[in-house]
Amino acid sequence: MYHIRVLTGHQDEDDFGERLSDIAEVEYCSAAEDEELIERLEDADIVICEDEPLSGAVLKELDDLKLIIVLGEDASNLDLMAAAERHIKVLCLSDYFEEDVADHTCAMILSLLRQIPEYASDVRNNGRWQFGSVPWPLHRVSANLIGIVGFGRVGQLVAARLKPFGCNLQAYDPFVSEKIMLEHDVRPVDFDKLLKTSDLITLHLPLEESTRNMFQEEQMETMKKGAMLVNCGSGGLVDEAALYHAVDDGHIRSAALDTLTMEHPSAMFLEMLGRPEFLLTPDVRAHSLEAEKEKYDDAERYIRLFVEGKYDGIPFITSSEE
């Protein structure tokens, strides 16, 4: 029997113990300081976690550990170099929420294009039932040019959802071929042209050193006057203070953010909260009942493939040398 340790502490949700009872002994434990964590994971063959940290000091003491499954796309909580040195395979689950992120992104895009946050705020706070109270002109969805920054799987799903509305689409992604963009009826452009010509820009990039604060004061000044910005990608891609000032001085029309540089409310968050031009949702883009079920189903499926030695069917991000 394999020994599996789950650090997420959500036994009532995932029920890995029952799912995997025929091949493994599953125990749940909370994250702890390194010494205590080493003791709890001492005999673990497989560890399942979300954002709980697993340092190199911990991994170097776990002689039986063969696989780490991260229930998400971000493995920054792991010491990947130490895992590779110890021949520990690492798998990140991210496919399960792609549809949800694309759906949430498009909901935000349509909300901004139709000025829903501003008009809803005017009705609620001013008791005014009147078209024209929002100063910007209202255009049909199909009249807008949407710029997609990052044309990976989620960017492609967003494009597919927007196509039926008739809007024109363009994208920038140095790691995706123009051929793929054209196959999706999306025009490939360079970053500067996307900034200058898009009516709305939506971000779908991971947070890396090269993308941190990718949208600062300079980029917002380059954007069209009256353009809109949506970030359902990663917190830290946008300098929120610069964005707030760009909206406040009237250059950027509105913005929708599901992820922020700081997850906890900050002074800038409170400033944005008081403005109808900002549509804010609390990191819900990747969530749905269907996504949660798919996440646990994927984890179970990959564990069974791993136990059977069918490694070719598992998208490891780092693995031991065979």
- Domain of 302, CATH number, reads 3.40.50.720
Which two tokens mark 202?
């939506």
82 and 209 within one domain: no
214 and 137 within one domain: yes
pLDDT band per the 50, 70, 90 thresholds, residue 10: low
Average pLDDT over residues 41-48: 95
Instruction: Give the bridge partners for 90, in sequence order.
Output: 68, 318
> What's the confidence (pLDDT) of residue 49?
92
Predicted confidence (pLDDT) at residue 14 exceeds the cutoff of 90: no
Average pLDDT over residues 225-235: 95
Task: List own/partner pairs for 82-87 with CB under 8 A and 24 or more apart.
Answer: 82/55, 82/56, 83/59, 83/318, 84/318, 86/59, 86/60, 86/62, 87/319, 87/320, 87/321
- Rounded mean pLDDT of the chain? 92
Smallest CA-to-CA distance from 70 within 100, 49, 101, 52 is with 49
One DSSP character per residue, 235-297 reads: TTSB-HHHHHHHHHTTSEEEEEES--SSSS--HHHHHHHT-TTEEE--S-TT--HHHHHHHHH
34, part of any domain: yes
Predicted confidence (pLDDT) at residue 178 exceeds the cutoff of 90: yes
261 and 147 within one domain: yes
> What's the confidence (pLDDT) of residue 244?
95
pLDDT band per the 50, 70, 90 thresholds, residue 253: very high
Predicted confidence (pLDDT) at residue 252 exceeds the cutoff of 60: yes
Locate the DSSP E strands across the chain. Answer: 2-6, 24-28, 46-49, 67-70, 89-92, 145-149, 168-172, 187-188, 200-203, 227-231, 252-257, 278-280
224 and 102 within one domain: yes
15, part of any domain: yes
> What's the confidence (pLDDT) of residue 302?
96
Predicted confidence (pLDDT) at residue 105 exceeds the cutoff of 80: yes
48, part of any domain: yes
Predicted confidence (pLDDT) at residue 186 exceeds the cutoff of 60: yes
Predicted confidence (pLDDT) at residue 319 exceeds the cutoff of 60: no
Is residue 126 classed as helix, strand or coil in its secondary structure?
helix
257 and 300 within one domain: no
322, part of any domain: no
> What's the confidence (pLDDT) of residue 321?
42
23, part of any domain: yes
267 and 118 within one domain: yes
212 and 111 within one domain: yes
Average pLDDT over residues 199-226: 95
pLDDT band per the 50, 70, 90 thresholds, residue 176: very high
Using CA atoms, how far residue 306 sits from 81, 193, 299, in Å, is: 21, 46, 10
107 and 84 within one domain: no
Predicted confidence (pLDDT) at residue 103 exceeds the cutoff of 90: yes
81 and 147 within one domain: no
138, part of any domain: yes
Domain count, the chain: 2
316, part of any domain: no
Which two tokens mark 151?
């044309």
72 and 186 within one domain: no
261 and 155 within one domain: yes
pLDDT one-digit tens code per residue, 106-165: 999 999 999 999 999 999 999 999 999 999 999 999 999 999 999 999 999 999 999 999
317, part of any domain: no
Residue 72, domain extent: 2-92+289-308
Average pLDDT over residues 182-199: 98
30 and 114 within one domain: no
